[in-house]
């Protein structure tokens, strides 16, 4: 087995971790969470989402969080699923945007009420405008392994979305085990095939821990050549359109795993633990 000397961890807790919380988390508390996360040494933080507040009320304070993230001087990511959202992100001087498309038609329709084709067309417009503004682009493929509505997701379904993202200029592509049903074998095979078919593309692994396979899946992804991972402080998160899905793989667990394997993360463990305690207290977990 071959292991990398270092990996990159992208913290998604403030956005992906909080978006599904039913009770609104005060903006000042979110800012404090971002501040604590910024002291960990994590390379990037996904702090905001410019989705319509009616769709995700928890993200209604995206402008305030983006402004605060700029004031902190951190490299941050904001979700911008359409052109209207992108325009707001541009006004807030967001350095890196993110879009998402599900690999299955059913999930896509339930999530954003768009077909995959329509979603990809919208993403193309978002990419073009974002590139003109010198913004970095991260693209999520949701349901990259399995779907709660359609079952196992084929490689061809994932490849269709990935190919479009590659051809339209995504800087990196995060493959999501959105409902936490992946296993190490399919993770290894899927990422291996993706890297073979798209050798110049930067891929990120995004796991949920529904079946307690997340950390085994991380090791499988490493063996397939993946060195970038999304995680959420205190394992916060879930997906409102994926029944039964639990939180993201926790940042603390991921860092502990990598450090035990002598793989550098650049993360300050003490600062990370402080942020994790704050996150748990924030949501009474």
Is residue 228 a contact partner of residue 205, using CB atoms and an 8 Å limit? yes
For position 285, what pLDDT does the model report? 66
Main-chain phi, psi angles of 65, to 5 degrees = -70, -40
Query: Binning pLDDT at 50, 70 and 90, where does residue 240 land?
Result: low
* Percentage of residues in the chain having pLDDT higher than 70: 96
pLDDT at site 216: 98
Supply the mean pLDDT for the chain: 95
Does the pLDDT value for residue 242 go beyond 70?
Answer: no
* Residue 239 is among the residues annotated as catalytic for this protein: yes
pLDDT tier, 283 (very low <50, low <70, confident <90, very high otherwise): confident
CA Rg, the chain, in Å? Answer: 17
Query: Which residues have C-beta within 8 Å of that of residue 79, sequence separation ≥ 6?
Result: 15, 46, 48, 49, 50, 51, 59, 85, 97, 98, 99, 100
Helix (H, G, I), strand (E, B) or coil at 228: strand
Question: One of 92, 123, 147, 239 is an active-site residue; which one?
Answer: 239
Confidence of residue 243 (pLDDT cuts 50, 70, 90): low
The larger pLDDT score, comparing residue 219 to residue 284, is at 219
Q: How confident is the model at residue 237 (pLDDT cuts 50, 70, 90)?
A: confident
Domains of the chain: 8-282 (3.20.20.70)
More confident residue, 237 or 63: 63
pLDDT score of 6 more than 80: yes
Mean pLDDT of 251-275: 98
């Amino acid at each position: 087995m071959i292991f990398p000397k270092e990996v990159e961890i992208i913290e998604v807790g403030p956005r992906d971790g909080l978006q599904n919380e039913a009770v609104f988390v005060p903006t000042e508390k979110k800012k404090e969470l971002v501040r604590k996360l910024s002291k960990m040494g994590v390379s990037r933080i996904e702090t905001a989402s410019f989705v319509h507040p009616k769709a995700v009320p928890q993200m209604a304070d995206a402008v305030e969080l983006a402004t605060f993230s700029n004031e902190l001087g951190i490299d941050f990511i904001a979700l911008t699923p359409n052109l209207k959202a992108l325009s707001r992100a541009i006004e807030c001087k967001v350095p890196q945007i993110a879009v998402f498309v599900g690999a299955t038609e059913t999930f896509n329709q339930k999530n954003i009420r768009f077909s995959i084709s329509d979603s990809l067309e919208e993403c193309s417009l978002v990419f073009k405008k974002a590139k003109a503004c010198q913004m970095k682009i991260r693209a999520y493929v949701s349901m990259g392994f399995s779907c709660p509505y359609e079952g196992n997701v084929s490689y061809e379904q994932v490849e269709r979305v990935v190919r479009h993202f590659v051809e339209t200029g995504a800087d990196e592509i995060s493959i999501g085990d959105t409902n936490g049903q992946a296993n190490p074998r399919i993770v290894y095979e899927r990422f291996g095939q993706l890297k073979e078919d798209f050798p110049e593309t930067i891929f990120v692994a995004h796991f949920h821990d529904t079946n307690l396979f997340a950390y085994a899946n991380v090791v499988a992804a490493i063996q397939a050549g993946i060195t970038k991972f999304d995680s959420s402080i205190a394992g916060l998160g879930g997906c409102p359109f994926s029944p039964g899905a639990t939180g993201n793989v926790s940042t603390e667990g991921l860092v502990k795993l990598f450090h035990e394997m002598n793989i550098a993360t650049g993360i300050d463990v003490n600062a990370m633990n402080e942020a994790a305690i704050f996150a748990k207290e924030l949501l009474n977990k």
